[in-house]
Amino acid sequence: MQKKIRKTLSLKKRAAIFAAFLTALSVGLAVECNLRFPSHINIFEGETLDTRSSSPYTIGMPAAFGGVLEDDGTITANETDTAQARVAETPGSYEAELKLFGIIPVRSIHVDVHPQTNLVPCGNTIGIKIFTQGLVCVGTSELKAEDGRIVNTGRDYDIGEGDILLSANNAPLETTEQLADMVAQSEGNPLLLTLERDGKTIQKEVPPVKTEEGFKLGLWVRDSTAGIGTLTFYDENTNQFGALGHPIIDADTGTLMPVSKGTILNASVFNVKKGERGVPGELKGIFQNNGDLGTIAKNSKQGIYGTVDPTLLSGQHQSYPAASRSQVKEGKASILSNIDGETVQEFEIEIQRIMKYGSESYKDLVIKITDPVLLEKTGGIVQGMSGSPIIQDGKLVGAVTHVFVNDPTRGYGIFIDNMVANLEPAA
């Protein structure tokens, strides 16, 4: 009997170990799937999408990527194509299927193939002014009503940081003064506020509170922001530009600022706060009062975009082919940046790490500043250099986006194909 009990326990132990193994394997495969293969890939016409992998995952590519089209609609490699690399033959949008062991479908990957593109890298420091689409709530406060009550509109009506006030009484909100006037003239009657939160629209009826200073809502809102950054590139055929390589977010809430309208201006760098370990540096610039350089149409996770008048840009610029991520390699490269006055200079860097299929935002590359002139002047990457274009082997491959706080000589960059994906198609 005791022997039978031991045998039963042994079987249970083995089953538990096997279950734990399957769980660990499943978690490991899921992590690898997400790190190695993003849900969205951008490449250029004629470029190769290399689907080689030492993992058990494979990508079944559509017919527009070369190879041999089988009767069942799948693509297999040519006889000489043992690397499972696919050439993007036709611009457009395609769905590729990620499979486990080449058999089990896991998920779809969206592949956008863009026409071969030549862009003009810039590196110019620019002033940025944007007005939000709606008003961004950056905080709430308690109000003491005239009758002595303490009222907190944010708490009582569930309105808080990051909410975007789109309209009041169906009138679109454009400025903080507009909302203040509506509250002052409300005589305490509820305002119908339309909010946007996490991509969803919400409506709330909120009565202003009568205080000794007049009617108030107790909401702190913002309608604009301004700062400096770096112009990454423009397309000389369409005059569309891309800049920053990362989004403009509200400093208080972390909310991506929705753009109603905005402008970029020429700016001049008059001083540099040198970066140190634990203390990011900063370019200090002033806007030039010689008219707008361009207009901003979009603020996205990959930067700001719009149209520019290149005749107003200082310096000489030449076009470079835009590289897909498959063409970027670890090693020497350079950046174009403006760290003094309005002069753009080229500085040496090293691309230390590439996350080819593990990133979908603006942290695709790890770069290190190696140029002694730039290191002496700035200590490395500083605020305001975001958007500095990265050049490698005669191609525009990316842009600087962030600095490592604990090592100002190193930081992140974004693939240029992720920025190109935000441009409007040529008419």
Catalytic residue among 114, 246, 317, 402: 246
Q: Are strands 104-114 and 303-308 parallel, antiparallel or unpaired?
A: unpaired
What span, in angstroms and rounded, lies between the C-alpha atoms of 24 and 29? 9
C-alpha distances in Å from residue 195, one per residue of 58, 119, 132, 133, 142: 43, 39, 14, 11, 20
Q: Is the dihedral of CA 397, 400, 401, 406 positive or negative?
A: positive
Annotation says 371 is catalytic: yes
Indicate the SS3 state at residue 107. Answer: strand
Q: How far apart are CA 415 and CA 114, in angstroms?
A: 14
Give the angle subtended at the CA of 31 by the CAs of 57 and 247, to the nearest 5°: 110
Q: Is 334 a catalytic residue?
A: no
- E strand or H helix at 311: none
Q: For tokens 């499972």, name the residue.
A: 84
- Name the nearest CA neighbour of 296 among 370, 241, 375: 241
Q: Which of 359, 386, 402, 417 is catalytic?
A: 386
* Of 114, 371, 388, 402, catalytic: 371
Which residues participate in catalysis according to the annotation?
246, 371, 386
